[in-house]
Amino acid sequence: MLKRLPFIVFLLFIILVWKMLSTHSAHFADVLINKRLPAFSVYTLDKNELTDKSLLGQVTLLHIWAPWCSVCRAEYPKLNDIKAKYNITMVGIVYRDSLLNTRQWISVYGQPFDQLAVDEKGSIGVALGITGVPETFVIDKNAVVRYRQLGDIHEEDWNEHIWPLIQQLQKS
Amino acid sequence: MAANSTATKIIDINQTAAPLYAFATQNEANQFQFLTHAMRCLVCQNEPLADSEATLAEDFRKQIALQIKQHKTNAEIIQYFTTRYGNSVLYNPPLNVETIFLWVLPAVFFYCSNGHFMAQFCAPKAA
């Protein structure tokens, strides 16, 4: 039995590591999942203050993007489609771009957001824990982060994960 | 020689990063240096915040400087970032349930690969 002890210890260790890796991810993208959206404050194009508390009481698709970002530009028609086809509150925050550029962009390409704010200095990015744009969060009625998408939203992500989750959260 | 190198490095750092943020006291500048070397740039290849030119690192530095000016402690500032980005933002992750394997793994592997055989080798042989 003693001779086999190292092998048993090693086997137990491998099982534990596998179990931990399969149930928990230390990746920063998962850090905010099931946690309250961090506090933030930013102003919308209409000069109204938008905070984390503004999102209470509704399920929200919070999208962080920027007109200077090529992936965001390519994704933009999808956001217009989502707003047209689905019943969902969409809030956008423009990261590190000007009010002028944002106004010009939406005048040409449309405005799918119920509220659109501009974070010209990039302070909201860190407050929300983002590492780049685009990023999308599904926020529940208690302002808890339920889903986070790094990069653009693919059709499979929307159909298989995001929309079913939004429907479930809207019913609860 | 080693002490000289370290001193030179600290002076260089103060001459580059800290003046950009214009701290009121040397203690605040030192706190900034400590924090920007304790945290890493998440979108870079093993680069501390202090040295990174990435936009995200710049945002991190601005936030650190702002919080230092608000007289936040190192622990409070680190907690602000780990709440949002996890322990992966730290160069020296704390020892806890999530990171225990990082610390235990080498010892386990050492035991499994060598300890058992060393014990056998050193054990008195039966006549």
In a domain, B88, yes or no: yes
Q: Whole domain around residue B65: which residue ranges?
A: 2-93
**Residue that wins the pLDDT comparison between A158 and B7:** A158
Q: Which residues 20-49 of chain B have a CB within 8 Å of chain A? A: 42-43
Q: Which two tokens stand for residue A24?
A: 């928990």
pLDDT digits (tens, 9 = 90+) for B61-73: 999 999 999 999 9
Does B85 lie at the interface with A, CB-CB under 8 angstroms? yes
Q: Which pLDDT does position B8 carry in this prediction?
A: 38
* Partner-chain residue, chosen from B63, B86, B116, that has the shortest CB–CB distance to A126: B63
- Residues of B in Cβ contact (< 8 Å) with A96: 55
**Residue that wins the pLDDT comparison between A2 and B40:** B40
Tell me if residue A26 falls in helix, strand or coil: coil
Give me the sign of the Cα torsion angle B96, B98, B99, B103.
positive
In a domain, B111, yes or no: no
Residues in chain A: 172
The total of structural domains in chain B comes to: 1
Q: Which two tokens stand for residue B61?
A: 């530095």
ipTM over 0.90 threshold: no
Q: Which pLDDT does position B88 carry in this prediction?
A: 85
Closest CA to A36 of A127, A170, A168, A167: A127
**Residue that wins the pLDDT comparison between B45 and A140:** A140
CB A119 within 8 A of CB A34: no
In a domain, B7, yes or no: yes
Q: Is the pLDDT reported for residue A117 higher than 50?
A: yes
Does A32 lie at the interface with B, CB-CB under 8 angstroms? yes
pLDDT digits (tens, 9 = 90+) for A37-57: 999 999 999 999 999 999 999
Ordered by start, the domain boundaries in chain A are 1-31, 33-171
Does A129 lie at the interface with B, CB-CB under 8 angstroms? yes
Does A24 lie at the interface with B, CB-CB under 8 angstroms? yes
Q: Which pLDDT does position B17 carry in this prediction?
A: 47
Q: Which CATH number covers residue B44?
A: 1.10.8.640
* Partner-chain residue, chosen from B62, B85, B115, that has the shortest CB–CB distance to A28: B85
Closest-approach residue (CA) in chain A for B65: A123
Closest-approach residue (CA) in chain A for B60: A126
Average pLDDT, rounded, for chain A? 91
Q: Which two tokens stand for residue B91?
A: 């160069």
Does B94 lie at the interface with A, CB-CB under 8 angstroms? no
pLDDT digits (tens, 9 = 90+) for A160-170: 999 999 999 99
Q: Is the pLDDT reported for residue A26 higher than 60?
A: no
Q: Which pLDDT does position A46 carry in this prediction?
A: 92
Does A2 lie at the interface with B, CB-CB under 8 angstroms? no
Does B62 lie at the interface with A, CB-CB under 8 angstroms? yes
Q: How far is B79 from chain A (nearest CA, A)?
A: 12
Q: How far is CA B67 from the centre of its chain?
A: 19
The reported pTM is: 0.78
Q: How far is B31 from chain A (nearest CA, A)?
A: 19
- Residues of A in Cβ contact (< 8 Å) with B84: 31-32, 38, 126-129
Task: For the beta carbon of residue A90, count every other beta carbon within 10 angstroms.
Answer: 19
Q: Following CA atoms A158, A127, A31, A165 in sequence, which dihedral angle do they give, to the nearest 10 degrees?
A: -30
Report residues of chain B scoring pLDDT below 50. Answer: 1-18
pLDDT digits (tens, 9 = 90+) for A67-103: 999 999 999 999 999 999 999 999 999 999 999 999 9
Q: What class does CATH assign to A33-171?
A: alpha beta
Does B86 lie at the interface with A, CB-CB under 8 angstroms? yes
Q: Which pLDDT does position A51 carry in this prediction?
A: 96
Chain A contact probe: residue of B77, B88, B112 with most A CBs at under 10 A: B112
- Residues of A in Cβ contact (< 8 Å) with B49: none
Residue listed under structure tokens 């920027």? A66
Q: Following CA atoms A40, A43, A46, A51 in sequence, which dihedral angle do they give, to the nearest 10 degrees?
A: 10
Give me the sign of the Cα torsion angle B105, B110, B111, B116.
positive
In a domain, B9, yes or no: yes
Q: How far is A61 from chain B (nearest CA, A)?
A: 19
Q: Is the pLDDT reported for residue A109 higher than 50?
A: yes
Torsion-angle region of B25 (φ positive above 0: left; ψ -120 to 50: alpha; else: beta): beta
